[in-house]
Amino acid sequence: MLEPTVLIIDDSEMLRNHVQRVLSERGVFKHFFMAGNGIEGFKFLVSNYVQLVLCDLVMPGMDGFKFLSLKESRPELNEVPVIMLTGQEDVKAKVKGFEAGASDYLVKPFDDEELVARVRVHLKIKTLQDELKEKNVRLLELSRTDALTGLSNVRHLLEVISVELPRAERYQTSLAFLMLDVDNFKQLNDQYGHQAGDAGLQKVAEILQAGIRQYDVAARYGGDEFALLLPQADVEGAMACGERCRQDIEKITISGSKPPVLTASIGIVLYPNPKVKKTDDLIRLADNALYKAKKDGRNRIVVSP
């Protein structure tokens, strides 16, 4: 977590220094940015981490209202609270400030304790908002991730396919989909226990993740089945990726077991393909190719015709 930082925007250097001294002495902030007008303040805001802004409404060049308008035009800045500093009790000006995106206001000359209290309230709200956002991101990540392997789960895989398949059709680009089944997995579980089985699946997942590009997707499809989605991959690229994974899976060692422990059968389907119109077609053809690979002796790759 970055250190709390406040941006003070006011054309009065005396007031800026006073606010800095008060907030520093009360231990509210250690880091400060200072600006004498809205333009300078906005430049600081877009290029630095700021948790709270104190902004005068009446300033030469760009006033506080224009600053608020610019800030509201940047979605990434919407949650940064702004406390207006005004030298007038003009209700219309305050309402205009709130409508422009301000969070609170202080009338100059303001009491130091009121300044500290209002700043602490909004800083606390901002901190809670940031924590909630981080938790929501984490929850979203968990909803897309297989708990055991850390790969994408089926739900996320299907979401990505629903985007990539129409994209490949629209731009006439290629796409490869691989279904992989771990051979002899039941034997591993039965002979060495479920902990060894879980370790084996995790090692397979590591191999799959290491063998793909940044924009590819590796997923645990269920049980001992995995899937790889490779946008813009042709048959040579898909075969090379599958073969690397197959060979590396042969080298997996599990504590207490004798190698080779695991092998993998892989089915591949390529797009464009006249048989593929939707996601279900892609999965069905890859699954059929996988079934043929297992039927033909396992530990091999079969490409769907």
State the catalytic residues: 224
Residue of 247, 250, 242 whose CA lies nearest to 226? 242
DSSP-assigned states of every residue in 125-178: HHHHHHHHHHHHHHHHHHHTB-TTT-SB-HHHHHHHHHHHHHHHHHHT--EEEE
Question: What one-letter code names the amino acid at 64?
Answer: G
DSSP-derived 3-state class of residue 236: helix
Q: Are 226 and 153 in contact (CB under 8 A)?
A: no
The answer to whether 197 touches 184, Cβ cutoff 8 Å, is no
Cβ neighbours around 125 below 10 Å, total? 14
Q: Check if the beta carbon of residue 245 is closer than 8 Å to that of residue 203.
A: no
Q: Please, which residues have CB within 8 angstroms of residue 292's CB and are 6 or more apart in sequence?
A: 267, 302
Query: Residue 129 carries which side chain, given as an amino acid letter?
Result: Q
User: Phi and psi of 80, rounded to 5°?
Assistant: -80, 115
Q: Which amino acid is at 77?
A: L
